[in-house]
A = this chain, B = another copy of it.
């Protein structure tokens, strides 16, 4: 039987299939559908310093092979996470990784510090696509110096595996990846959503209350794959790849492009059992191609 397990920044994953933040709740909602223990890990919904109501309705628009969302980090804050949610999910038989968000460096640091105390959370994923309120809304993830700063400040207080999730809405994804690594990132996650927009021509209005929102789903897969490939060649830390993964073939494409693991996002909405099917599909592919360990696939794209 092929070996699907993988080490990422010293952390052992039983397989390279995890679920993306904001698309898997806190895992709980999927227990009717599948065995969470079959997953490499679960990235839970973004946690911020204080309660956030998120954006107004409507928050969703369907687009060709994808969707736009403008949920806006709705969550009850880090206190609520630590006291109410963590106890319920801490014994899941898979890695629980917290997606950490904020509008100021201080907020990121505060949340990271609190999550650092939770024994059963072996890693955090800094979501630096949020706008920096102090710097007039420019996202932390679009200016390399800001990415380095927020990563470095969090690094000071966070002792376990530090992942940084990048926004694809930039001219040079490799500059941002290098900046995060300079700040002390152990792992780079790629990609968050592309900024997009949808319009209802009958009402002559934007469909989202926020006018623009984040594009996810298969539509963005070619862009995501390209960025994983570019970053894989530019930095030497492991990469977690995502963006439009719907099946095992898509997941293997990300591994070949250089990702050490993948996250399944929007696909969970369409088939809540898809992540387990992807694990099985990767195993079947490895058997068929006589690949003994999944690590042989990582970055194994032939370009000569």
A residues near B (Cβ < 8 Å) are 63-66, 68, 142, 169-172, 194-199, 201, 203-206, 211-212, 215, 217-223, 225-226, 229, 244, 249, 252-253, 256-257, 285, 300-303
Q: What are the 5 tightest A-B residue pairs by CB atom distance, in nearest-first order?
A: A196-B222, A64-B218, A219-B219, A65-B65, A64-B65
Q: In the bound complex, how far is the Cα of B199 from the Cα of A303, in angstroms?
A: 11
Instruction: Name the distance in Å between A206's Cβ and chain B's nearest Cβ.
Output: 6
A201 touching B171 by the CB < 8 A rule?
no
Give bound CA distance, A133 to B206, whole Å. 40
A66 near B201 with CB under 8 A, answer no
Query: Is the contact region of chain A dominated by helix, strand, or loop, or is it mixed?
Result: mixed
Contacting pair B198 A222 (CB below 8 A): yes
Which chain B positions have C-beta within 8 A of A65? 64-66, 218-219
Contacts of A198 in B (CB 8 A): 222, 225, 253
Q: Quote the shortest CB–CB distance from A94 to chain B (angstroms).
A: 25
Q: What's the minimum C-beta distance from A48 to chain B, rounded to whole angstroms?
A: 24
A303 to B200, CA, bound (A): 12
Min Cβ gap A227→B in Å is 9
- Given A199-B253, A212-B226, 4 more A-B residue pairs with CB atoms under 8 Å apart are A65-B66, A197-B222, A201-B256, A201-B285
* Residue contact B201 to A253, C-beta cutoff 8 Å: yes
Q: Is the CB of A244 within 8 A of B64?
A: yes
- Nearest Cβ in chain B — how far from A279, in angstroms? 16
- CA gap between A172 and B170 in the complex, in Å: 8
Report how far A275 CA is from B226 CA in the complex, Å: 31
Q: How far is the CB of A119 from chain B (nearest CB, A)?
A: 38
Are A226 and B195 touching (Cβ within 8 A)?
yes
- The CA-CA distance from A105 to B184 in the complex, in Å, is 40
Nearest Cβ on chain B to A71's Cβ, whole angstroms: 16
Q: How far apart are A175's CB and chain B's nearest CB, in angstroms?
A: 10
Given contacts A199-B257, A253-B199, A301-B199, contact A222 B226 (CB under 8 A): no
